[in-house]
Amino acid sequence: MEPTKNSAIRPELLQSLIDYAEHGITIAEREGNDTILLYVNHAFEQMTGYSAEECLYQDCRFLQNADRDQAELQKIRAAIEAEQSVRVILRNYRKDGSLFWNDLSISPFFDKEDGVMYYIGVQKDVTELVALQTELADVKARLLALGG
């Protein structure tokens, strides 16, 4: 029997690879206006401080706390409505309340067999990068103010 594209990696190996990926990986499903988390990997748990048990079956918005007026959130909603991929950088908050910047990519996947749309999210903590960009912008502004 010839291997197919889908059977090249054993399901349990694929699960382990995703569980231990460097970046956060989530799988969510639309439920009304909510996008409910069905899976989070270990990197997501480490990045956010939330265990899988604490965040599964919740809407993904809990990571924004009360910080829900970010323009990037509108981009996400529009992409989900249009069933398109999107990439944004969001202010998110860990379980301890500390801010981190999340480089979030969301890709839709339609399961023809079950007739369900899933959303695969990949999260990367880019807090240090955003801090460096902010510092660079401040230095440039000071140089311009000095006539440089």
Average pLDDT, the chain: 91
Choosing among 3.40.50.2300, 3.40.50.300, 3.50.50.60, 3.30.450.20, the CATH entry for 5-145 is: 3.30.450.20
Q: Which helix (H) or strand (E) holds 137?
A: helix 127-145
* Residue listed under structure tokens 């801090």: 131
* Residue listed under structure tokens 């240090």: 128
pLDDT of residue 1: 41
- Which residues of the chain fall below pLDDT 70? 1-7, 148
pLDDT of residue 6: 56
pLDDT of residue 2: 46
What token pair was written down for 49? Answer: 């401080």
